[in-house]
Amino acid sequence: MSTAESFPPLKNDLLLRAARGEKVERAPIWIMRQAGRYLPEFHEVRKNHSFFEICRTPELACELTLQPIDRYGTLLDGSIIFSDILVIPQALGLEVEMIAGRGPVFNDPLVTPDDLSRLKKDVDVDKELGYVYDAITLTRHKLEGRVPLFGFIGAPWTLMAYMIEGGGSKTLSKAKSWLWKYPTETHGLLQKITDVSVDFLVGQVRAGAQLLQVFDSWAGELSPYDFNKFSLPYIQQISTKVRQRLAEANLPDVPMVIFAKGAWFALEDLTDIGYNVVSLDWTIDPAYARKVTKDKVVLQGNMDPSVLYGGDEAIRETATRMVHAFGKDGKHIANLGHGILPTVDPEALKVYLETVQRVSAEIRK
Ligand SMILES: Cc1c2[nH]c(c1CCC(=O)O)Cc1[nH]c(c(CCC(=O)O)c1C)Cc1[nH]c(c(CCC(=O)O)c1C)Cc1[nH]c(c(C)c1CCC(=O)O)C2
């Protein structure tokens, strides 16, 4: 395997500097789901391969990771490895398929704690998910240092919810019923996912990931009380243990980002659990977030992804307002408040990227 020393030198380190909380010349920008279905070049590749086949083929995962970087050039300051949060449930032994029009579907989701015996006992994460590491290493080379590369995972609560619901769900009532009916088994499952996640994130850094993001996409479905009990302790463990393990292995102490979608109530707690960056969805006002987080973390986000359907003028106006709201003193990584939607015009995203870069440079002069 390649060592960090053998990767091409980084030419644009704006995202890394901003994530560490340094004062930078303008807000860096990248977009959640920037490699995906809104790009015609994505569909060109996708029509010949299933989704998880792409994830498991490092050359294809690399090609898709690079598509937005090739298209937008210097308008993007970061990349994220093409993969999915559901590779961990797969590594634990569950079968997941991506069905057109429906999204992810588990063939045999967990129904009661008896089903936990179907999960693998000792998961050799490096063996099961080595294909992600290979994709990361290859991509670091092919990026040629243009921008840094994110690795990622789904948070334990979000993954547990998928494993029980068996796919998307409006209410998460099946997964939530576990919290109260089977609290002991729930904590056991969350711990198991956490342990695998720690190994997996360390492996991603060893393979070349320069930042890490944890997606707790379903955080906002929990009450504050249940979030504190069933999500927060595990995402905290992840940052603490990953940093310990990176130090022990002499690997770089990479910046970590937490995105707990919908969990506005947790904003203050999220500043104290070992993450450098807290990612905000669009329902949180940037000035409010700055006040609550007391400048302890870098903030990421947060334009409503649907504004990209609103025409160039609305995009410019909203993006400008957002950049001003996060302030000229920095500590902001621009993004959307959630992933870019699949039917957005790629030219609309370009307007957003251009506006953010221009306005944020202007106000910091
Ligand atoms: C919840 C979640 C998933 N996956 C992910 C999350 C967390 C982020 C979020 O909250 O949106 C994370 C993810 N999924 C994908 C990436 C790749 C990198 C990138 O952001 O560019 C990342 C970071 C590719 C993907 N993951 C998926 C696609 C589309 C697959 C296809 O071609 O059909 C892509 C490009 C499929 C996927 N994967 C998942 C769902 C619910 C779906 C279907 C619906 C949807 O796309 O939003 C699970």
Q: pLDDT tens across 17-27, in order?
A: 999 999 999 99
Specify the pLDDT at position 2. 45
The rounded Å distance from CA 33 to ligand 1 centre is 7
37 is catalytic: yes
Choice among 1-5, 7-11, 142-146, 159-163 with the minimum mean pLDDT? 1-5
Percentage of the chain exceeding pLDDT 70: 99
CB 364 within 8 A of CB 25: yes
Indicate the SS3 state at residue 270: helix
Residue 357 CB-density burial (10 A; 0-12 exposed, 13-18 middle, 19+ buried): buried
Convert the pLDDT of each residue in 191-249 to its tens digit. 999 999 999 999 999 999 999 999 999 999 999 999 999 999 999 999 999 999 999 99
Q: Is residue 17 part of a domain?
A: yes
- Say yes or no to pLDDT of 102 above 80: yes
Q: Report helix, strand and coil shares of the chain as percent, to nearest 5.
A: 55, 10, 35
Q: How confident is the model at residue 330 (pLDDT cuts 50, 70, 90)?
A: confident
Mean predicted confidence (pLDDT) in 268-285: 98
CATH number of the domain where residue 272 is located: 3.20.20.210
Choice among 1-15, 113-127, 194-208 with the minimum mean pLDDT? 1-15
Across the chain, what does the average pLDDT equal?
Answer: 97
Q: Is residue 303 part of a domain?
A: no
Q: Is residue 227 part of a domain?
A: yes
Helices (H) and strands (E) in the chain, counts: 16, 9
- Say yes or no to pLDDT of 120 above 90: yes
Q: Is residue 292 part of a domain?
A: yes
Q: Cα-flanking dihedrals φ and ψ of residue 58, to 5°?
A: -50, -40
Triad 202, 50, 158: Cα angle to 5° = 45
CB 156 within 8 A of CB 197: yes
20 is catalytic: no
Q: Is residue 337 part of a domain?
A: no
What is the H or E stretch that residue 233 is in? helix 232-248
For ligand 1, atom 1: residue with the closest CA? 217
- Say yes or no to pLDDT of 5 above 60: no
33 is catalytic: yes
Mean predicted confidence (pLDDT) in 155-169: 97
Q: How many domains does the chain have?
A: 1
What residues does ligand 1 touch, defined as CB less than 6 Å away?
32-37, 46, 51, 80, 82-86, 98, 103-104, 152, 154, 168, 215, 217, 339
Q: Among the options 37, 243, 245, 316, which is catalytic?
A: 37
d(CA 259, CA 273): 13
Terminal C-alpha separation, the chain: 43
Q: Which atom of ligand 1 is nearest to the CA of 154?
A: 7
Q: Is residue 20 part of a domain?
A: yes
Q: Cα-flanking dihedrals φ and ψ of residue 335, to 5°?
A: -160, -170
Residues forming a β-bridge with 260: 216
Specify the pLDDT at position 328. 87
Indicate the SS3 state at residue 365: coil
Range(s) of the domain holding residue 222: 4-297
For ligand 1, atom 45: residue with the closest CA? 103
CB 364 within 8 A of CB 22: no
CB 96 within 8 A of CB 104: yes
Specify the pLDDT at position 66. 98
Lookup result for tokens 């004062």: 23
Mean predicted confidence (pLDDT) in 102-130: 97
ipTM at complex level = 0.94
d(CA 21, CA 296): 9
Q: Is residue 175 part of a domain?
A: yes
The number of beta carbons lying within 10 Å of the beta carbon of residue 193 is 25
Name the nearest CA neighbour of 97 among 88, 110, 107.
107
Q: Is residue 61 part of a domain?
A: yes
Lookup result for tokens 């947790």: 266
For ligand 1, atom 26: residue with the closest CA? 84
d(CA 167, CA 91): 17
Q: What amino acid occupies position 118?
A: R
Q: What is the full DSSP assignment across 300-349?
A: EEEE-GGGGGS-HHHHHHHHHHHHHHH-TT--EEEEESSPPPTT--HHHH
